[in-house]
Amino acid sequence: MWRDAVLVAGKDLRIEARSRVATNQVAPFALLVLVLFAFALDPDRGVLTRAAAGLFWVAVLLCALLAVQRAQTVEAGEGTADALRLSGLDPAGIFLGKAGAVAVQLLVLEVLLGLGLVVLYGVDLAGYPVLAATALAATLGLAAAGTLYGALASGSRVRETLLPLLLLPAVAPVLIAATRASEAALGTGGLDVAPGDWLALLGVFSVVYVAAGTVAFGPLMEEQ
């Protein structure tokens, strides 16, 4: 299963590296979102710095939607789904591989967005061990949930509009928990917020969705 996962993740990441969709389109989009937030919230009033954690995770969510759709589009080509099914790869491995590839792309984007926060919003990246742990746990959950809902919505003509409706309410706990944990690390949370509980919630979310995806991906692949 793990070998298959590494194979699938390697394949997806190679496709992304060669097609350059992630670097040429998704990454500029992410930075553009940061700029749009600055237009919407007056940047001189300190609002951006205070809201940086939340804006960061909203931007990550939007990018996750794009990354998941991209991961599904790669498999939507003529006969690709059949080829994947006939390849003899473990469906659980395929799920873990696709989720892993999305997670790697999101982590790279998060580093980029983090730099954007420092440069554009004047955020001081204090408490980075907590930030890194938050990013890791939240990204794992986002990638797993995204890949699972992406598979649920795939194969329909309305998948571009269906995926956000399915995914966004489901990942609401990730947005809340990751934002609060990041605020605690950055010291912008106002009150004393313990990041430990939020990290635990992110961890539980990731475990639930990784487990659900590992079990459910097989039946989902058979149907199409």
Partner 1 sequence: MTIATSTSDLGAAAPATGGSGAAPAGRGGGGPLTLSLGLAAVLALGATVGLGLTLPATVEQGEYSRLIAIHPGLAWASYVAVGVTALASALWLWPRSRSLRWDQVAGASAEIGVVFTALTLATGSIWGRPTWGVWWVWDARLTLSALMLALYLGYLALRRVPAPPDVRARRSALTALLAVAVVPLNHFAVTWWRTLHQGRSLAQLDPGNDLDGAFIGAMLLGFLAMTLVYAWLLVHRVRVARLEDEVEEAGLVRAIEERRREAVTA
Q: Which of 133, 168, 188, 203 binds partner 1 (CB under 8 A)?
A: 168
Q: Does 38 bind partner 1 (CB under 8 A)?
A: no
Per CB under 8 A, does 212 bind partner 1? yes
Binding pattern for the stretch 89-128 against partner 1, x by CB under 8 A and - elsewhere? ----------------------------------------
Q: Least distance from C-beta 187 to partner 1, angstroms?
A: 15
- The Cα 117–Cα 125 span in angstroms is 9
How far apart are the C-alpha atoms of 218 and 182, rounded to whole Å? Answer: 35
Extract long-range pairs of 29-33: CB within 8 Å, 24+ residues apart: 29/62, 29/63, 29/66, 30/59, 30/60, 30/62, 30/63, 30/109, 30/112, 30/113, 30/116, 31/112, 31/113, 31/116, 33/58, 33/59, 33/62, 33/63
CA separation for the pair 2, 23 (Å, rounded): 27
When the beta carbons of 6 and 212 are compared against partner 1, the nearer one is: 212
If the CB atoms of residues 27 and 98 are measured against partner 1, the closer one turns out to be: 98
Closest C-alpha to 143, from 93, 96, 109, 73: 96
Q: CB 78 → partner 1: shortest distance, Å?
A: 20
Return the residue matching tokens 């390849």.
87
Residue 77 DSSP code: S
Task: Give the binding-site size for partner 1 (rule: CB under 8 A).
Answer: 32
Which of 102, 130, 131, 177 forms a contact with partner 1 (CB under 8 A)?
Answer: 177
Instruction: Choose the binding region for partner 1 from 7-15, 65-73, 110-118, 174-182 (rule: CB under 8 A).
Output: 174-182
- Residues 106 and 112: their CA atoms lie apart, in Å, by 10
- Binding string to partner 1 for residues 130 to 149, with x set by CB under 8 A, is what? ------------------x-
Q: What are the start-end ranges of the H helices in 117-194?
A: 128-153, 159-170, 172-186
Q: Which of 72, 84, 180, 210 binds partner 1 (CB under 8 A)?
A: 180
Q: Does 162 bind partner 1 (CB under 8 A)?
A: yes
Q: Interface with partner 1 by CB under 8 A: which residues? A: 148, 152-153, 155-156, 158, 162, 165-166, 168-170, 172-173, 176-177, 180, 190-191, 193, 197-198, 201, 204-205, 208, 212, 216, 219-220, 223-224
